[in-house]
Structure 1
Amino acid sequence: MLEEWLRGKGNGEQDLTTSRWVKKPLSKYIMVAAICLGLLALIWPIGNNSGQAKVPQTSTGKAADDMVKSEMTANLEAILSQVKGAGVVQVSLSLASDGQKSYASNSRDESREIREGNAASGSKVTNEESRVRDLAVSGGSPLLVENKTPEVLGVLVVADGAESPEVALRLMEATATLLRISPHQVSVMPRDNK
């Protein structure tokens, strides 16, 4: 039908398709192109992806673990290198996880009881329960309620001044205090000066 209309063949009846401007061959192709562009505009995805906050993924992978670990290591090295007599400090962390983030959610519980039957044949009771949980969003990003720091299993501190027992003790106490871990989880070693 579309092919016949484009070629100008038809039953010869006068209607909207046989007006003067549609009889011109070029105008028919322009109209078909406009319709195709309109359909394309309808199905094309809309949205600005640049600069938008994205919903966090459940599996962050090794890259996120390394980022958290390197950030904690850099902060710890910067602070411990300021301890009197410590000198150059290097830190190695052993983490159990990269932390945990809890997001706000809206939950809705629905319960419904359906009774069927009559007095002669008995009755049947059906209970339906449903729970709906939606992530709460503020400004296009999920609403963070709690951000737990990673669990530290152990720390190795290598410092130039760790040969001195006083400096080693101060480095161990500072590390244990900063990371909120027990002193037995911290090992302080002197640097090999070769």
Structure 2
Amino acid sequence: MDFSKIGEKLKDFVSKKHVANIIVVMAVLVIALIAYSDFFVKSSNTKSSPGKLQDDVLVQTANRELTEEEALEKKLKTILETMRGVGRVEVMITLEMGSEIIPASNTVNSIDTTEEKDSSGGVRLMTSQSSTQNIVTSNNGSQQKPLVLKEIKPQINGVIVVAEGAENIEVKAELYDAVKTVLQVPGHKVQIYPKN
């Protein structure tokens, strides 16, 4: 074997033109491998467990916190369906606005008074006031939450109840009284309808 010939061929191969081509080919191969692995890993995960994905979506939906309207509707529906003569019930409650929360706060008021005398004997009093308000928070693990002094619940604008059995006047009257009592709303804000 002639090492000088091998060395010359190696030098020719490693010339600037060939090195640039080799780098380009290697970069294309790396990009292709990354794209290939991302595409097939994602598609195999979705193919192998479509039920799991749907379960996760259902779990996320179930873990969602109910709004005040939804919570009230759910409680009212549950209680109305247990009444004698009433079948399935649908409830809709509209609220004026969301809850209003009044947080605790630290307020610092300061008043600075300065007296200035000029060369002619005049005296001026300068007063400046400033106020700083900070919301008081409490640490709950890794979260900071404001300390709540008072929470004002929203006013109910109206209630509609659609119930099986509401075509009976006695059942309708009992539903009407139950809704007025539990929600503490005047009668003109409550409507009861029979269900198809």
State if a TM-score over 0.5 links the two structures.
yes
Matched, 1:177 2:154: no
Partner in structure 2 of residue 156 of structure 1? 160
TM-score by length of 2: 0.61
Partner in structure 1 of residue 37 of structure 2? none
Segments ≥4 residues shifted beyond 2 Å: 118-121
Partner in structure 2 of residue 83 of structure 1? 83
Partner in structure 1 of residue 120 of structure 2? 120
Q: Distance in 2 between matches of 1:163 and 1:148?
A: 37
Q: Distance in 1 between matches of 2:101 and 2:84?
A: 36
Partner in structure 1 of residue 69 of structure 2? 69
Partner in structure 1 of residue 6 of structure 2? none
Percent identity, please: 27
Q: Distance in 1 between matches of 2:154 and 2:81?
A: 23
Alignment of 1:1-194 (within 5 A): 67-118=67-118, 120-139=120-139, 140-192=144-196
Q: Distance in 2 between matches of 1:167 and 1:87?
A: 11
Question: Please, what is the CA RMSD of the aligned residues?
Answer: 2.0
SS at match of 2:166: helix
**Which structure has greater helix proportion?**
2
Cα contact 1:99–1:151 (8 A) shared by 2: no
- The superposition leaves residues 88-145 of structure 1 with CA deviations (integer Å, 9 ceiling, x where unpaired) of 1100112110121111111111111111114734122211111111111122321111
The code of the aligned residue for 2:123 comes to S
The code of the aligned residue for 1:124 comes to R
Partner in structure 2 of residue 51 of structure 1? none
Q: How many residues align?
A: 129
Tell me, which stretches of 5 or more residues in structure 1 are unaligned? 1-63
TM-score by length of 1: 0.61
Structure label with greater radius of gyration: 2
